[in-house]
Structure 1
Amino acid sequence: MFGIYLLLKAFSEAANGEAILTTCLAKFKCLRVLDLSGAIFETFPRNIAKLRHLRYLDISDNPNIKRLPDSICKLQSLQVLLLGGCNELEALPKGLRKLISLRCLEFSIKQTVLPVNEIANLVSLQILSIESCINVESIFGGVKFPILTSLFVSGCQSLKSLSLDGKIFPELETLFVDNCSHLDLELWKGHHEEESSKLKLKLLAFSSLSQLVALPKGLQEAANSLQCLFISNCHNIEALPDWLTTLTDLKTLCLINCPNLVSLPHNFHDLTALETLRIKGCADLCKKYKPHVGEFWFSLPHIKNIFIDEPEEPEKN
C-alpha cells in the first residue's frame, strides 16, 4: 500500500516533467491524491486511468494544457477534479458522466457550449465551479442537477443568462456569482410562479456585477430559506426592494463597495431574524446609518452585530 497518500506537486520547471509524471503514475498505482496545480506541461499521460484509487486530482492553473485524455473518465473513485485556471483547455474530457463518485468539479474551458448533460449526469456531484469560461453565453438551459448543493460562477465575461429555479436545482443551498459583466441577473426570467419549484438557497453572493441595478425578483422564491446575502462591488445597484423583508430567515446581510446604494427598505425593521449587518464603502448608507447619529440608525435596534465603515476620504496635499 506504499504511496497511497503520496502528494505529487508540480513539475513546473522541469524540461522533462511530462516524462517524469508518466513514470510516477506507473510506479505509484495506489495514489489517492495528485496535486499538479501550477504545472506548465502541455499534455497529460493517458496512463492516469491506472490510478484506480485516485480520489483527488488537481491540475488547476496550468496555462499551457489544451486537452485532457478521455481516460480520466475511467477514474471511478475520483471525488474531486480541479481544472480552474486552465484557460487554454479546449474542452472537458468525453464520457464525464462515468465519474460516478465525483462530488466536486471546477473548470475553466474555451468551449462556447458547455456539456451540461454530461455534467448533470454526474450522479454524486454536489459542488460545481465554473470559472473564466469566457466564450459561454448561457448555462444549464433547463437540465436538472438533482443533488447539487453549491454553485460558483465567476469570470464568465460573455455570459448573458443563467437558468435557475427549484426544478433545475432542487437541493441548491449556496450560489456565488462574480465578475460576469454581461450577465442579466433576472435569474428566474420566464418562469411562472405556479410552474416553478422554489429554490432552497441559504447563502447568496453577488460580486462585481456591473449589470446589477436591482435584486432579481425571483430571489423571493427563497423567502423561507435564505440566511445570508452578500452584495459587493456592484457599482450600479441603487436600492434594495421593499420585498427584501419577506426573507424571514435572513440572518446576515453584507453590503460592500456599492457606492450608488442610497437606501434600505423603509420596513427594514421587519427583518426580525437579522443578526448581523455589515455596510462598507457605501457612502450614503454609511452616513444615514452611522451609529447613534445617523438619520435612520434608530431602525436597527433589533440587530445584534452592526458594522458600518465609512469610505476613507482621500488625503489632501
Structure 2
Amino acid sequence: MATGRFSRAQLNQLKICDDQGGWKLDLSGSELDRLPPAVTRIEALTSLDISDNPRLRRLPKDFHVLAKLRQLDAVHCGFDKFPPSICSMRAMTSLRLSLNNMTQYPDLAPDLQRLETLELVRCSLVEVPACVTSLGGLRHLDLKCNRLSARSFPPDFVNMKIEDLDISSNDMASIPDCILGMSSLRTLRICHCNLDSLSPAIAQLKHTTDLRLSHNNLQEIPAELCSLTQLEQLHLDHNRLTRLPRCLVNLTKLIEDKDNFMIGENNLLDPPQKLCDNGLKSIIEYYKRNN
C-alpha cells in the first residue's frame, strides 16, 4: 500500500495516484475546512485519515465515490451529524468518529454490512443510536466516555455479534441485561462507570476471555462470576471489595501471570489485600491453608 501525507501548502497539488495495493492518505491536523476535491478522485484510496481538523464540518456529497475506501479516521472533526455520504460505502470496515458531537444518525444498515469496527468515543451520546444494532458485521464497538446509562441501550442490542465492547467512563450502576445476554462477547470493558453491583446473570458471559471492571464501586463479587472459566484477564482493581468468593480458584487461566488478575486498591480482608496483590496463585494457596 502506498502512503501519502500532505501539508496545507501541498493540498492543491495532490496528484491522482493509482496503485494495485491501494492508497493510504493522511490529512490529519491539516487545518482543513473542506476536503480537497482531488481526494475524491483517488480511485484506489483504501484508507483516509482526516482527524484533528475541527473546522471540517462536512464531507462532500460525492465522497461515496471512493468505492474502495475501507478505513476512515475522522476523530476530532467538526461533525454535528453522522456524515450521510458514508452510509453507502460498501467496502468500509473501520470507522473512527470519536470526539464529534453528532446528534443525528441515519439508517446505516443498507450498505455498511462489512463494517467491523466503530469508534464513537466522547461523542456526547446519551443513548446508543438505534441504527447501530442493524450493523450485522460489527465486531468491535467503542462507546467509552459518553453519557450513557443502563437504559441507553436498545433492546435488540443483545442480538448483535459484537466481540469487543468498551463502555468505560459512562454512568451506570449495573451492567445492562442486553449486554450480559450477548453470547458473542470476548472482551468487555466497563471501567470508571460507578458500578455498585454485579448481577448473577453475569454467568451468561461464558465465552468472555477478557473482563475489565476496574475503578468502580463494587463491594462484592457474585459466585456466578466464577463460572466464567474461559477468562484469561479479570480486572477488579480499584473497587470497594472486602472479600472474595472461594470459587475464584475455578478460574485457572488467570493463574499463569499475576497481571492476568488485577485486584489491587481494594479493602480486602479475606484473603488479605497484600496477599491478593500477588495474584490468584497466592489466593489459591491461602485457601488451601485455611480450609
Please tell me the residue identity of whatever aligns with 1:218.
C
Residue 28 of structure 2 corresponds to which residue in structure 1? 37
Give the direction of change, closer, same or farther, for the CA distance of 1:25–1:152 in structure 2 (3 Å limit): farther
CA deviation vs aligned residue, 1:240-273 (integer Å, no higher than 9, x gap): 1112123333333322111x21011134433333
Residue 238 of structure 2 corresponds to which residue in structure 1? 281
Residue 173 of structure 2 corresponds to which residue in structure 1? 213
Partner Cα separation in structure 2 for residue 21 and residue 312 of structure 1 = 54
8 A Cα contact 1:220 1:247, kept in partner: yes
Partner Cα separation in structure 1 for residue 132 and residue 14 of structure 2 = 42
Partner Cα separation in structure 2 for residue 272 and residue 93 of structure 1 = 42
In the TM superposition, residue 75 of structure 1 has moved relative to its aligned partner by 1.0
8 A Cα contact 1:120 1:143, kept in partner: no
Structure 1: stretches of 5+ with no match in the other structure? 12-16, 154-177, 290-295
In the TM superposition, residue 53 of structure 1 has moved relative to its aligned partner by 0.9
In the TM superposition, residue 190 of structure 1 has moved relative to its aligned partner by 5.2
Please tell me the residue identity of whatever aligns with 2:251.
I
Residue 163 of structure 1 corresponds to which residue in structure 2? none
Give the direction of change, closer, same or farther, for the CA distance of 1:20–1:267 in structure 2 (3 Å limit): closer
Give the direction of change, closer, same or farther, for the CA distance of 1:57–1:148 in structure 2 (3 Å limit): same
Partner Cα separation in structure 1 for residue 88 and residue 165 of structure 2 = 31
In the TM superposition, residue 130 of structure 1 has moved relative to its aligned partner by 2.3
In the TM superposition, residue 64 of structure 1 has moved relative to its aligned partner by 2.2
Please tell me the residue identity of whatever aligns with 1:214.
S
Corresponding residue to 1:247 among 183, 186, 205? 205
Residue 145 of structure 2 corresponds to which residue in structure 1? 179
In the TM superposition, residue 232 of structure 1 has moved relative to its aligned partner by 0.9
Give the direction of change, closer, same or farther, for the CA distance of 1:187–1:218 in structure 2 (3 Å limit): farther
- Helix, strand or coil: the match of 1:48? helix
Please tell me the residue identity of whatever aligns with 1:242.
P
Residue 272 of structure 2 corresponds to which residue in structure 1? none
Aligned positions of 1:1-317 closer than 5 A = 5-9=2-6, 11=7, 17=8, 20-26=10-16, 28=17, 30=19, 32-86=23-77, 88-91=78-81, 93-108=83-98, 109-115=100-106, 117-118=107-108, 120-134=110-124, 139-141=129-131, 144-153=134-143, 178-181=144-147, 183-186=148-151, 198-210=159-171, 212-222=172-182, 224-234=183-193, 236-258=194-216, 260-282=217-239, 284-285=240-241, 287-289=242-244, 296=245, 298-304=246-252, 305=254, 307-311=261-265
Give the direction of change, closer, same or farther, for the CA distance of 1:220–1:279 in structure 2 (3 Å limit): closer
- Give the alignment's Cα RMSD to 1 decimal: 3.1
Residue-pair matches, total: 258
CA deviation vs aligned residue, 1:76-103 (integer Å, no higher than 9, x gap): 11111111111x2345555434423222
Please tell me the residue identity of whatever aligns with 1:179.
C
In the TM superposition, residue 58 of structure 1 has moved relative to its aligned partner by 0.5
Partner Cα separation in structure 1 for residue 125 and residue 119 of structure 2 = 16
Please tell me the residue identity of whatever aligns with 1:207.
S
- Helix, strand or coil: the match of 1:229? strand
In the TM superposition, residue 215 of structure 1 has moved relative to its aligned partner by 1.3
Please tell me the residue identity of whatever aligns with 1:130.
L
Give the direction of change, closer, same or farther, for the CA distance of 1:21–1:91 in structure 2 (3 Å limit): farther
Give the direction of change, closer, same or farther, for the CA distance of 1:56–1:273 in structure 2 (3 Å limit): closer
Q: Which has the higher strand share?
A: 1
Partner Cα separation in structure 1 for residue 108 and residue 233 of structure 2 = 40
Residue 169 of structure 1 corresponds to which residue in structure 2? none
CA deviation vs aligned residue, 1:165-220 (integer Å, no higher than 9, x gap): xxxxxxxxxxxxx1122x232355556xxxx974434333331112x101112234
TM-score using structure 2 length: 0.75
Give the direction of change, closer, same or farther, for the CA distance of 1:135–1:251 in structure 2 (3 Å limit): closer
TM-score using structure 1 length: 0.69
8 A Cα contact 2:28 2:52, kept in partner: yes
In the TM superposition, residue 22 of structure 1 has moved relative to its aligned partner by 1.9
Partner Cα separation in structure 2 for residue 248 and residue 84 of structure 1 = 34
